[in-house]
Amino acid sequence: MLTLPHRFHGHGSLRYVYKNGTAFRSRVVTIKVSKNPHRQHSRFAVVISKKVLKSAVGRNRIRRRVYEVVRLELPKITAPHDVAIMIFSSEAMTMPHDELRSIIIGLFTDAGLYNPPS
């Protein structure tokens, strides 16, 4: 699980990222990224609709899997960003961890969240 400074909650924060963020899409996951110079840490939220998966247990399982990928990638991420990760398929629950991780890393790379290679 991510530590508290790296998570954000509340509709106000999400609304800002939805409105002003840049979207990057894959077939299972979409991320919206917005720079936030007022923060010291990047913040992440995982959003899964009830339309995707009715069971709260299943939604929470997907959320934990995605937060674990983010936790492992966090040291590589530069500059404070607000990132909303939206899951649009229940496939994310049964997908192998490596495949889910590669999708998320690909989206983070497309969004420019990583340090440029030196």
Nearest residue to 115 via CA among 82, 78, 79 = 78
Q: What would the two tokens of residue 8 be?
A: 């954000």
Q: Where are the domains of the chain?
A: 4-107
Check residue 112 and give left, alpha or beta (phi > 0: left; psi -120 to 50: alpha). left
Instruction: Mark out the alpha helices in the chain (DSSP H runs).
Output: 11-20, 56-73, 91-94, 97-111
Q: pLDDT tens digits for 49-80?
A: 999 999 999 999 999 999 999 999 998 988 88
- Whether the predicted model's global pTM rises above the 0.85 cut: yes
Domain 4-107 top-level CATH class = alpha beta
